[in-house]
Amino acid sequence: MNIVLTGFMGTGKSVTGRWLGKELGLPFLDTDDLIEEKVSMKIPEIFEKHGEPYFRKVETEVIRDVVSSSNDIVLASGGGAVLNEENYRLLSQWGTIVRLRASVDCIYKRVRTKFTRPLLADSTDLRSDIEKILNDREPFYDKAQFTVDTDDREIKEVTEEIIELLNSGDYGS
């Protein structure tokens, strides 16, 4: 069983993924961590020194590596990973895609004090930038097999819902 968590920045993919992995007895991986390990740089530094296209190239390489070499894991993907056609195809063939969803307000509260996300770091109107990027990405996130809301919810509750959905076997059309 492979589980891929997707969704916008600040929807809780990493914390939920870690918890979900523990509950299911599966290792947890995070594409952002794998990217940082691969190039020995933190994400902001990668964007600053090499730009977003380079980051996306490494992101795809990391996804190719994971799907060809790992099984029975929980994988959190970076918020922009599923926008790329190849990434989406590889991930959806390899695992069940679960999208974590949160409102603009909730995302805003979660990301406003963190400066580790280059796409939002220079924003002069954070709330409206979040809204705009989220709207643009909605069709990509929407393709997930399952969607779970994370607004005002404990990680444990979110994790339990994911497990119930996975066990239900109701993978839609």
Q: Name the site residues for ligand S3P (rule: CB under 6 A).
A: 9, 13, 32, 43, 78-80, 117-119
Give the integer Cα–Cα distance in Å for 112 and 72: 34
Nearer to ligand S3P, 13 or 99 (CB): 13
E-assigned strand segments in 16-112: 28-30, 74-76, 96-101
Nearer to ligand S3P, 2 or 11 (CB): 11
Nearer to ligand S3P, 63 or 166 (CB): 63
Give the integer Cα–Cα distance in Å for 122 and 92: 32
Q: Which two tokens stand for residue 113?
A: 């004090």
Minimum distance of ligand S3P from residue 163's CB (angstroms):
21
Nearer to ligand S3P, 125 or 170 (CB): 125
Minimum distance of ligand S3P from residue 170's CB (angstroms):
27
Minimum distance of ligand S3P from residue 118's CB (angstroms):
5
Minimum distance of ligand S3P from residue 56's CB (angstroms):
9
Nearer to ligand S3P, 31 or 96 (CB): 31
Minimum distance of ligand S3P from residue 102's CB (angstroms):
11
Q: Which two tokens stand for residue 164?
A: 């119930």
Residue 113 DSSP one-character state: T
Task: Name 109's Cβ contacts closer than 8 Å, sequence gap at least 6.
Answer: none
73 φ, ψ (degrees, to nearest 5): -140, 165
Asked if residues 140 and 84 have their Cβ atoms less than 8 Å apart, the reply is no
Q: Which of 134, 115, 171 is nearest to 7 (CA)?
A: 134
